[in-house]
Amino acid sequence: MSDLTLDQLSPGKPMRIEKDGKSICVTKIGDQVFAVDDTCTHSDASLSEGDITDFKIECWLHGAEFDLRNGQALTLPATQPLETYAVKIDGNSVTVEI
């Protein structure tokens, strides 16, 4: 059972899903899909409300940037990486592997 479908994802527009008690931020960039923890590691902000540039997501609250490919915190005030999750795409089905 998939978590969402590819056509629910607009390019560069993050979407939050809930799975196994976790909030996950899912983003399609080109034909790749990335999944990271939705909660910023700096404080309690939802990253799916942030902006995407290239492979980066910027937290709307204080502006920390993270690399969606590996979860790394790229700019202050965040210093801790985000958890990342593997994504399986099968046709139109997208499954986040937790």
Taking the complex as a whole, how short is the minimal distance between the CB of residue 79 and ligand FES, in angstroms? 10
- Nearer to ligand FES among residue 42 and residue 94 (C-beta): 42
Q: Which residues bind ligand FES (CB under 6 A)?
A: 40, 42-43, 45, 59, 61-64, 77-78
List beta partners, residue 28.
11, 33
d(CA 63, CA 11): 21
What distances in angstroms separate CA 14 from CA 52, 53, one per listed residue?
8, 11
- Nearer to ligand FES among residue 79 and residue 93 (C-beta): 79
Cβ-based neighbours of 84, under 8 Å, separated by 6 or more = 34, 35, 36, 68, 69, 70, 71
Judged on CB neighbours under 10 Å (0-12, 13-18, 19+), 76 is exposed
- Nearer to ligand FES among residue 61 and residue 74 (C-beta): 61
Taking the complex as a whole, how short is the minimal distance between the CB of residue 58 and ligand FES, in angstroms? 9
- Nearer to ligand FES among residue 78 and residue 87 (C-beta): 78
Taking the complex as a whole, how short is the minimal distance between the CB of residue 45 and ligand FES, in angstroms? 4
